[in-house]
Homo-oligomer: A and B are copies of this chain.
């Protein structure tokens, strides 16, 4: 019987969502509603090599749309965003369309926000600048080609400066939720195995962290579990014999979309706490950082929740809810919570192996970097307090 108090919660903007096979075509119905002069941001090569770009260009020509196209590679940096914001400022851009992985979607978001501004994006980044971004932006349509960050549904753009003084920080505002998110699973078929694996683990991390977050609410809980249900049976096939099965890609894309909606409204935990300093100091794909730490951090959280006694019960129950989905058996009850927590940990460990998620050592991180990383790792909305020693131990186990 559900007679607990629903906590106060806010749900901010959710993009207009257009989901389904072939839905990229809806873009051409949408564009004319925004105007005649658009900027398209894409990734490096895959869109062009897959032939999708030619199709897009042809359709834009038919509509007599004036467009500029910019290819970016790697995660967006302040200088990249500033360069394009400056280039297109005053050019009367009516709409920006970002088609690509998480980096491309974030770059588009940041550029759409910075074109109307006068200063460098650094001035507006959380924990970096001193100015408050007011939400003024150019309309933005996000079209992901990888199932990972869920950025098509979030209100932040992650901007990275890599190096000893590096950072990975967000430009954040409710208005940065894209106006439309078009999720077409066909666009993900050509996403390579290693990217699919890392992005998939990132999305799953986001769903898990949002679900166990104390900031969660019934609505984010329902959406997170729904995303997990679709993702759990498809993450391994998406990286192996199901890579070209559009059903598998659709399930992954749906999970990723749910992860964006839920993280934006329920927050994340320690794994994403690590992602910020590690990604700032080292050139490691965000998905690899999350994926490699997922099982280890979940194990630590569950251990610490067990130690807390009665006050840890809700957190354990929530981890068990996810574990129970892998077992498809009886509902979570008092006497099977720990069993389902174990199932969750074991499954995540198995995925890490099966998906060949790299250890951090492969990217040049070694034991002498640990203190520097741990010092800058925040807990965010982790379901349980962790000491610096606990955080250190998670990290060391994945070097």
Contacts and interface: CB of A to CB of B under 8 A. Distances in A.
Interface string A207-250: 00000000001110111011001101110000000000011101
Interface stretch (A15-23, A64-72, A380-388): A15-23
B17 A11 contact: yes
A221 B229 CA distance: 12
Contacts of A232: 2
Contacts of A229: 2, 218
Nearest to A223: B222
Interface in A312-365: 328-331
Nearest to A19: B9
Q: What is the count of identical protomers in the complex?
A: 2
Which of under 10, 10 to 19, 20 to 34, or 35 or more describes the interface residues of A? 35 or more
A9 B7 CA distance: 30
| A contact face: mostly helix, strand, loop, or mixed | mixed
Nearest to A237: B3
Interface in A1-50: 1-14, 16-21, 23
Contacts of A11: 14, 16-17, 19
Nearest to A330: B330
A132 B234 CA distance: 43
A366 B114 CA distance: 65
A219 B230 contact: no
Given A222-B226, A225-B222, A226-B219, A250 B5 contact: yes
8 contacts: A1-B233, A8-B20, A8-B23, A9-B17, A10-B18, A11-B14, A222-B225, A330-B330
Given A6-B247, A14-B14, 15 more contacts: A1-B233, A2-B230, A2-B251, A3-B248, A3-B251, A11-B14, A11-B16, A13-B14, A13-B16, A17-B219, A218-B254, A219-B223, A219-B254, A222-B223, A222-B225
